[in-house]
Copies of this chain bind each other. A is one copy, B any other.
Amino acid sequence: MLSRRTMIASTAGLATAAAGPAVAQAPTTAATPPASVAQAPGFYRYKVGDIEITAVHDGFANRPLDGLIRNAEIGDVRKAMAEAFLPETTLPITFTTLVVRSGGKTIVIDTGNGDVGAPTTGRMAANFRAAGFDPASVDTVIISHFHGDHINGLRLKDGTAVFPKAEVKVPEAEWAYWMDDAKMSAAPEAMKGAFAGVRRVFGPMAKDVARYEPGKEVAPGITAVAAAGHTPGHTAFAIASGGKTFMLVSDITNHPALFVRNPNWAAVFDMDAEMARQTRVRILDMAAADRVQVGFYHAPFPATGHILKDGPGFRFVPVQWSPAV
């Protein structure tokens, strides 16, 4: 497993690898490759009409299967994992943020785990730069909901704002819930950290944060879509251009191999399980009927594909990787 330091070195190392002449000096006959190019950088670019989307990988975190799903037998969960050729006892949950170029603006949707997540996370910054982006050139950051893996990338542990010039836009209902001190006091002990994390990220910029409602255009071509249940103000997004529509479904499911296949299964991350289930089924039904391209935060990278109705559930069909954007 790569450390963060190795990963950053990895991305920087492409400078050497791709330049050509320097490659001949690399020990290419050794048993292992030069660490500088251990893996390709984690970004993938595609278009929706004239809008350009770049999926940027933030890494992964392994989650034990035990206790992950509230209403499924562990045997059934293991069977679903086996059908997807995933590990027997842990789910590798991945994180994929989006950078959208639309109307001359650079827009980031969700920000990854930053430098406060598991050591296998926090890759967004390096992959974002590898994709040719500069954090100081980001105009807008849109947040889908306030879970730590979506917001922590906004601010480093030392307090630095990662996207210093960006306007930050958040769902009104998320702000109302998580910034409410009474809700924090009343919350079970296990949730106190989440409330504190929200304050760590948004506290220093509280007066500048813009709040949006579902149904509103939050950036050129990007419309917020109500998708509550996972959290009180959890939001999906419709991205439309040139007669094409893309649906960023955010966290209506965690890993598709479990929750797209079995849309009635309730992950422990869903704060209102029944509302989350209804939202999930409604949006998956719509995506399948309309055959629109979708993006997930927790689907395997590059986390985009289509939804196919299949038996009582659905199937996530990843896009075919293309060198042509």
B-binding residues in A (CB < 8 A): 1-2, 7, 11-20, 23-24, 26, 28-34, 36-45, 50, 52, 54, 57, 59-60, 83-86, 92, 94, 101-106, 120, 123, 129-134, 136-137, 139, 291, 300-302, 305-306, 308, 317-325
Contacts and interface: CB of A to CB of B under 8 A. Distances in A.
Contacts of A305: 85
A33 B323 contact: no
A14 B36 CA distance: 13
A131 B17 contact: yes
A31 B92 contact: no
A2 B323 contact: yes
Instruction: Indicate the member of A7, A14, A45 with the most B CB atoms within 10 Å.
Output: A14
Contacts of A103: 31
B57 A323 contact: yes
A325 B39 contact: yes
Given A17-B132, A45-B39, A324-B39, A29 B137 contact: yes
Contacts of A83: 308, 317
Contacts of A52: 31-33
Contacts of A322: 39, 60, 92
A130 B317 contact: no
Q: What copy number does this chain have within its complex?
A: 2
30 contacts: A2-B323, A12-B18, A15-B15, A15-B16, A15-B19, A18-B41, A18-B129, A18-B130, A24-B136, A26-B134, A28-B106, A29-B106, A31-B104, A32-B52, A33-B45, A33-B54, A33-B101, A37-B132, A38-B325, A39-B322, A40-B42, A40-B44, A40-B45, A42-B323, A59-B323, A85-B305, A85-B306, A120-B323, A120-B324, A123-B323
Nearest to A104: B31
Given A39-B325, A52-B33, A15 B12 contact: no
A254 to B, nearest CB: 13
B31 A101 contact: yes
Contacts of A50: 31
A8 to B, nearest CB: 10
Contacts of A24: 134, 136-137
Given A15-B15, A28-B106, A33-B52, 10 more contacts: A14-B15, A18-B130, A23-B134, A29-B104, A31-B103, A31-B104, A36-B132, A41-B41, A57-B323, A85-B291
A208 to B, nearest CB: 20
A317 B123 CA distance: 26
Given A18-B41, A45-B39, A50-B31, A321 B301 contact: yes
Contacts of A137: 24, 28-29
Contacts of A318: 300, 318
Nearest to A82: B291
A321 B300 contact: yes
